[in-house]
Amino acid sequence: MTDYRLTLFHLRSLKSLRGLRLPAAMANALRFLLAAFLFVYASANTQIKVTDNPADKLVAVINTNRTAHKSSSLDDNAGLACIALQYIKAYQGDCSAVGGPNAKKPADTEFAETFAPNCGVEVSSLSPITGRFLLCQPNYIHAPEAFSMLVDSNKSLEILYNKNHTEVGAAVTGTDGGSPYFWCVLFSNGKPNSSFVFEDGVAKISKPGCFSGANDVCSRANDLSQPGHLWLYVAAAFIAMGYIFGL
């Protein structure tokens, strides 16, 4: 919002530049350039909020699928999601422990002893886990694909549509920021506002890895910078330059 106002202010101040005999064509071109930046900046910003965390995207897919099936939309709990990230870390990158004959599961005691403290989640606010999905993939896939791989049987559909869930938390991580990629979804029947609460009320962001519910921009499984957005700015600059030279 502030950025938006700031740019409008700049647009207005260009009018006074024209008073200083800046050629009208150039002032128009500059104004267009700023408008182009404003547009691209605004759309880039919206994109960050909506899409730039694969764990949030997975929760969105889960809730869309649940509501299409007349199940309730689940609260995206950042504390639970951070615990899902610790749950992944307990596998120490060992894909073979996720499914199949060597499948392992972290001990229940780990939640109170390790996961909650690592997240700064109050142990007294831990609530029952009513379902879990876990996936390990050699390649990075996007949230909708991860969803179809997580929910691929009648048993997993039962977990997905379970009416006892009230909240959900999702996490994704790559070992050392690369392959293999782990996805974890935990469901709980706790009260959304009073379960898995952070001790100081603020999500403790734990890297590497991404978790849902914290309004945290997180690219892929490690916290990469975002070259995609830089491209948008470059493109805007080129479009604007095209206009200037076309004048």
Q: How far apart are CA 53 and CA 218, in angstroms?
A: 5
Q: Out of 154, 200, 225, 246, name the contact with ligand NAG by CB under 6 A.
A: 154
Q: Out of 28, 65, 118, 222, name the contact with ligand NAG by CB under 6 A.
A: 65
- Cβ-based nearer residue to ligand NAG, 1 or 68: 68
What residues between 185 and 204 interact with ligand NAG by CB under 6 A?
A: 193
- Cβ-based nearer residue to ligand NAG, 75 or 216: 75
- Cβ-based nearer residue to ligand NAG, 109 or 193: 193
- Cβ-based nearer residue to ligand NAG, 202 or 241: 202
Stretch that binds ligand NAG, among 45-53, 86-94, 105-113, 146-154 (CB under 6 A): 146-154
Site map for ligand NAG, 96-135, x if CB under 6 A?
Answer: ----------------------------------------
Q: For 20-142, where are the alpha helices, taking DSSP H only?
A: 24-51, 54-68, 78-89, 109-110, 116-119
How is residue 173 written in tokens? 């991580």
Answer whether the bond into residue 138 is a cis peptide, omega within 30°.
no
Cα 242 to Cα 26, 77, 79, 102, 238, distances in angstroms:
13, 46, 48, 60, 6
- Cβ-based nearer residue to ligand NAG, 63 or 219: 63
Contacts of 101 (CB under 8 A, 6+ apart): none
Q: How far apart are CA 114 and CA 118, in angstroms?
A: 6
Q: How many CB atoms lie within 10 A of CB 19?
A: 8
Smallest gap from residue 150 Cβ to ligand NAG (A): 8
Interaction between residue 159 and ligand NAG (CB under 6 A) = no
Q: Out of 43, 51, 72, 164, name the contact with ligand NAG by CB under 6 A.
A: 164
Q: Where are the beta strands (DSSP E) in 85-233?
A: 129-137, 167-175, 178-188, 210-211
Interaction between residue 71 and ligand NAG (CB under 6 A) = no
Interaction between residue 2 and ligand NAG (CB under 6 A) = no
Q: Out of 162, 179, 222, 226, name the contact with ligand NAG by CB under 6 A.
A: 162
Q: Is 98 exposed, middle or buried (0-12, 13-18, 19+ CB in 10 A)?
A: buried
Whether 205 and 119 have beta carbons less than 8 Å apart is answered as: no
Tell me which residues touch ligand NAG (CB under 6 A): 65, 68, 148, 151, 154, 162, 164, 193
